[in-house]
Structure 1
């Protein structure tokens, strides 16, 4: 009886392990887009150097884990002078804070394609626990013989929570709310 139980346990464990897939974030097809109030309107941009690893069982999103980094100096607002201005120490201070880091702690899925990803976000030297609503956009073959997965997430962050002081006072030219859209494409590890 013990041998049967052990065999069933090992089979179940191997099936669970076999269902787990690892995806390396494709930096050329992944973006952290943002928008923020500027005077009376909004300005937007993207961080286009995103890297990391996503591990999950496509049939059980609750098992997913994510580790990701963003190269802060990859910020691109479409205007070079503005990019240099916001890289300076008054804003992003890329000389001192080179990366934004995220590591998931748990995912609570509402189904196989949607859920809330909780994790530690470190930006500007400050780490905060955040909840990011996420959606799996799909899985499929790519033109190069590989397999890919697409993900999307949305969150609004408070700049002041991360030690950014630009949004002080009623007449501050830049707002405190940073709306972030994550568009992530992963390449399945072989």
Structure 2
């Protein structure tokens, strides 16, 4: 019996060994994370905005960065372009249609280091009930202890999506077919 128990106990340690990936919660409560967008207005200027309400988490292991994962939930009704009437229009069926689609999300599928703090993050973006793959160019900003006794890690990412790919029917003209997204993510290690 002893001969059987020793290998079983040893095997159990193999399966319960903690992973090296660090788990982080995106710091939206402290306003240290942002999802911003810009789109050309009729081709004459840039219209800027952001989503004020979102949450998420990510994992990252410096020894195994390709195993990094991120998941973010966004409340499209929190869209803020610094103009109340325009924001009402962005929330209606011409754009985000928040009454029918109150949630948007991003879930990563892969993370590839490119060197010099740069990486490529692939994942599925769900917006207006449509899920499409997107590629985000990522820059690792930094990591370390914070003044409150915690540990933080931050990334910045950019991508561009076509409005039509997500079923957004409103035509803003030929110069406004795509929207650029900028994502600033600071996570608190758990």
TM normalised by structure 1 equals 0.85
RMSD across aligned positions (CA): 2.5
Q: Is residue 38 from structure 1 mapped to residue 44 from structure 2 by the alignment?
A: no
Contact 1:36 1:175 in 2 (8 A): yes
Q: Deviations over 1:60-100 (max 9, x none)?
A: 32110111111111111112222122112222111111121
**Equivalent residue for 2:166, pick from 145, 162, 165:** 162
Matches within 5 A, 1:1-190: 14=17, 17=19, 19-27=20-28, 28-39=31-42, 40-111=44-115, 113-167=117-171, 170=174, 175-189=176-190
Asked whether the equivalents of residues 137 and 151 of structure 1 are also in contact (C-alpha less than 8 Å), the reply is yes
Distance 1:88 1:108, change over 3 A: same
Provide Cα deviations, 1:28-48, integer angstroms capped at 9, x if missing partner: 221111001112222010112
In structure 1, the partner of 2:3 is none
Q: State the SS of the aligned residue for 1:145.
A: coil
3-state secondary structure, aligned to 1:144: coil
- What SS class does the counterpart of residue 97 from structure 2 fall into? coil
Structure 2: gaps (5+ residues): 1-5
Q: Which protein is richer in strand relative to its size?
A: 1
Cα deviations by residue, 1:136-183 (Å, 9 ceiling, x for unpaired):
11111222211111111000100010001112765xxx8111011000
Q: CA deviation at 1:13?
A: 8.3
Q: Structure 1: which 4+ aligned runs deviate by more than 3 Å?
A: 10-15
Alpha carbons of structure 1 residues 109 and 49: separation in structure 2 relative to 1, 3 Å = same
- SS across alignment from 2:67: strand
